[in-house]
Amino acid sequence: MSDMLDRIELLITRRLDGVLTDEESLELDRALIRSPEYRRMFEVSERIDMLCADALAEQVGHSAAGSAVVLTMAVRTKRGWGGRRAWWLMPAGAAACVGWMMWAGAMNVRSGSGGDGLVQSDRSRNGVELAAGSDRGETKDTARSVMGADRLRNGGGVRQAGMGIPSMSRMRDSNVYGIVGGEDRIFLIEVDRIRTLQRSPALASAVPVRHEL
Amino acid sequence: MQMRGMVEVKAEFDAEQPVIEAIRAGDRFAFDEFVRRHGSWVRGVVFSVLGNRDRLDDVCQQVWTSVWEQVSRLKDSARWRPWLYSLARNAAVDAGRSQTRRRKLARAIADSPGNITGVASHGPDVQAAERKSMVFDAVQGLPPLYREPFVLRHLAGWSYQQISEVMGLPLDTVETRLVRARRMLRSALEGKV
């Protein structure tokens, strides 16, 4: 009987973890039909599993600090900021925060033609961020603007745009893209270089648009 | 349409390897993204070793600092997951050793009469919160041997294969530990949740 109980426990675990074979599934179903005790064991296990997953995700899964703090902490070594006076890190971090805030209140981007077809970034998706069907129109990308157009008109500076290639060396060189959006707007787009590496199959054949400003 | 210079991505391509290479080169954006993607399961590893949340954030910060500082020592970037797991686990073990007395005190407080279960609740939200707390305490109460694979399974959603790879255990052993973890949790929680 104990062997049978052990066997049912094992099958229950496999079912909860989604690794049951068809034969094992049939075996477990038969056992559950025959025995109220095994049914209860399965129901309790299933419920506890769900509660555990929720409790762990809530209590352990996330840090209140966030990754920005982690990054700031991580660059400090025991010798202090990489062993040299990296005094520029703090103002750079502050500038990054300002950039993020500007992004949050950045102008709307929408899909469409005419060069201003930019889709708001969705960080939950992986895929090519800059994929254009043709020249300067139909930019059906998922990127985010990092600077307002005003800064650009006033000579905010735009680096030469590059293409979204799954190559780290290229991404390192040009991660800021300028997309001309109509007559009076220029969007500066920061491409998430990590997502660019994970090119989604759907966008794999897209042609990137190169704009030089 | 074809893209010039495009590299075809193979099905078995590990998307994290270029990220590791980028971090090696000092790319902070890559590091930030790496932390965002793997922070949750690293926290799970640290928690499963520590058995409590007291120093979870601190230890995790140490882990990520170590990643940044030691990534150049990772010779095979394909082995990043076991490497990161080791960093997390070792940091948690070190923290646990130095905090043994504090942990015992924390447990004593958690088990004190002030934390009474079974008291009449004031509503469904309170009942749900108590239930979660009870469940979480039960997971904390698992022996580390069973808690580690259980947390990796339930928090990180790892397969048996992934757990086996990072923990250096046979698949059967991973499975057996999960069975026993669930048995202990059933014993602790049946009738209460």
Tell me which of A13-27, A89-103, B72-86 is least confident.
A89-103
Among residues A133, A198, A132, the alpha carbon closest in space to that of A166 is found at A198
Band (pLDDT 50/70/90 cuts) for residue A18 is: very high
CB-count exposure of residue B144 (10 Å: 0-12, 13-18, 19+): middle
Nearest to A193 among B29, B64, B155 (CB): B29
Does any CB of chain B come closer than 8 Å to the CB of residue A101?
no
Contact check, Cβ <8 Å, B132/A51? yes
pLDDT for position B191: 84
Answer with the residue of higher pLDDT: A49 or A82: A49
Chain A residues in contact with B125 by the CB 8 A cut-off are none
Ranges of residues in chain B with a pLDDT under 70 are: 1-13, 99-124
Instruction: Compute the average pLDDT of residues A10-32.
Output: 95
Tell whether the model's pLDDT for residue A127 goes beyond 50.
no
pLDDT for position A148: 38
Q: In A35-108, which ranges are continuous DSSP H helix?
A: 36-59, 67-74, 89-104
Chain A residues in contact with B183 by the CB 8 A cut-off are 9
pTM value > 0.90: no
Band (pLDDT 50/70/90 cuts) for residue A63 is: low
Does any CB of chain B come closer than 8 Å to the CB of residue A95?
no
Residues 55-84 of A with CB under 8 A from B: 55-65, 67-68, 70-71, 73-77
pLDDT for position B4: 47
pLDDT for position A25: 95
Distance CA B72, CA B77 (A): 10
Among chain B residues, the shortest Cα distance to A73 is held by B65
Q: Return the H-helix or E-strand segment holding A141.
A: strand A141-147
Residue tagged 């700031």 (tokens)? A72
Nearest to B179 among A9, A68, A207 (CB): A9
Q: What is the dihedral of CA B154, B158, B160, B164, to 10 degrees?
A: -110
Answer with the residue of higher pLDDT: A186 or B164: B164
What token pair was written down for B44?
């799970």
Among chain A residues, the shortest Cα distance to B189 is held by A48
Closest CA of chain A from B113, distance in Å? 22
Contact check, Cβ <8 Å, B22/A204? no
pLDDT for position B126: 73
**Cβ atoms within 10 Å of A192's Cβ, excluding its own:** 20
Residue tagged 């230890």 (tokens)? B59
Best probe of the A interface among B20, B29, B152, B184, by most A CBs < 10 A, is B29
Question: What secondary structure does DSSP assign to B119-175, as a single string?
Answer: PPPSSHHHHHHHHHHHHHHHHHTS-HHHHHHHHHHHTS---HHHHHHHHT--HHHHH
Among residues A81, A69, A68, the alpha carbon closest in space to that of B58 is found at A69
Phi, psi of A105 (to 5 degrees): -110, 20
Band (pLDDT 50/70/90 cuts) for residue A2 is: confident
Helical pair A2-16 and A22-34, crossing angle rounded to 10 deg: 120
Answer with the residue of higher pLDDT: A175 or A16: A16
Instruction: Compute the average pLDDT of residues A188-210.
Output: 44
Does any CB of chain B come closer than 8 Å to the CB of residue A45?
yes
pLDDT for position B192: 83
